[in-house]
Amino acid sequence: MNFDGKVVVVTGASSGMGKSCAEMLLNNGAVVCGFDVNEGCVEHANYRHFQGSVVDEEMVETSTEKIVQEFGRVDGLVNAAGVWGNSKPFFDMDTADFQRILNVNTVGAFVMSKYISKIMIPKKNGKIVNISCIRSTIFRGNMADYAASKGAIVSLTSAMALDLAPFNIQVNAVAPGFIYTGMTKASFDNPEIKKQSEELIPCGRVGVPEDIASVVMFLLSDMSNYMTGTNVFADGGYHIQK
Ligand SMILES: NC(=O)c1ccc[n+]([C@@H]2O[C@H](COP(=O)([O-])OP(=O)(O)OC[C@H]3O[C@@H](n4cnc5c(N)ncnc54)[C@H](O)[C@@H]3O)[C@@H](O)[C@H]2O)c1
């Protein structure tokens, strides 16, 4: 895919799917501006790193101003920053802990989309891709915080798509299944958990970040111009047998 001359902002760019998206975009000609609470670890002449939290509105505003000063445009935004939940029943969860998960996973995508869409709107051009999850619609116990944050991402995606449709900006989400990343490494490094997970996936394997980055690339490209407001599952078929 040709992303020559395009500028794409990727959050969560220092690990997992965000890092893979950043690298795939760079390898296909884009300039990438990565945001992460951690230091940048993508090595490329066309990569700029902005360290801080996606819910730190002042940092996001200042950083997006710098991006406009340097590049004058943003063609795409990938909201991949996220955290796993507290892994306990909702009735044992502190409200502050519940709010922290929604804050990073949902409010973070809102804040980033707000500032980046203001750059895209005057150009009447842009793509926003949010990373949701199979846990937006298929649940297990002990994940009320994470599931609520991802269900909200799916709704936010469709609602933002309507607001931005008149400006030729498409907004879609990708719902990954079980992907081997920094978030899940500890689980999938356990052979028992890995085997149990593989048995639930029709394709028979846990995904890798590139499995998701390639779908994100499609949604950032002109090939998806007639798609907006959707949540695309990329889960090796996990959801079709639930
Ligand atoms: N790994 C999976 O199986 C899986 C499945 C479905 C959905 N997801 C979602 O995919 C997205 C990417 O997760 P991943 O699996 O690549 O995890 P990861 O932990 O490898 O990467 C997440 C990145 O987000 C960054 N981050 C966390 N909080 C942040 C904040 N407040 N501001 C800026 N950056 C922040 C982290 O530092 C990290 O670099 C997340 O939204 C996650 O919920 C993951």
What's the 81 CA to ligand 1 centre distance in angstroms? 5
Phi-psi region of 43 (alpha: psi -120 to 50; beta: other; left: phi over 0): beta
State the residue for tokens 């895209």: 120
Q: Which two tokens stand for residue 93?
A: 């969860």
Q: Which two tokens stand for residue 43?
A: 């090595």
Q: Which two tokens stand for residue 201?
A: 């996936």
Positive or negative torsion for Cα 137, 148, 190, 207: positive
Contact 162, 117 (CB under 8 A): no
Task: Determine the Cα–Cα distance for residues 203 and 198; give it in Å rounded to an integer.
Answer: 8
Q: Can you list the domains of the chain with their CATH numbers?
A: 7-179+208-241 (3.40.50.720)
Task: Determine the Cα–Cα distance for residues 135 and 157; give it in Å rounded to an integer.
Answer: 15
pLDDT at res. 242: 64
Q: Give the three-state DSSP class for 224.
A: helix
What's the 53 CA to ligand 1 centre distance in angstroms? 12
Q: Residue 235 to residues 12, 15, 56, 103, 203: CA-CA distances in angstroms?
A: 20, 19, 31, 25, 9
Cα 47 to chain centroid distance, Å, stands at 18
Tell me the pLDDT of the chain (242 aa) as tens digits: 999 999 999 999 999 999 999 999 999 999 999 999 999 999 999 999 999 999 999 999 999 999 999 999 999 999 999 999 999 999 999 999 999 999 999 999 999 999 999 999 999 999 999 999 999 999 999 999 999 999 999 999 999 999 999 999 999 999 999 999 999 999 999 999 999 999 999 999 999 999 999 999 999 999 999 999 999 999 999 999 86
What's the 36 CA to ligand 1 centre distance in angstroms? 10
> What residues are paired with 128 via a beta bridge?
77, 171
Select from 15, 24, 102, 200 the residue to mutate for testing ligand 1; criterion: most ligand atoms less than 8 Å from CB. 15
Q: Rounded to two decimals, what is the model's pTM?
A: 0.99
β 47-51/76-79 pair status: unpaired
- Output the ligand 1 site: residues, CB below 6 A: 11-12, 14-18, 35-38, 53-55, 80-83, 104-105, 108, 131, 133, 176, 178-179, 181-184
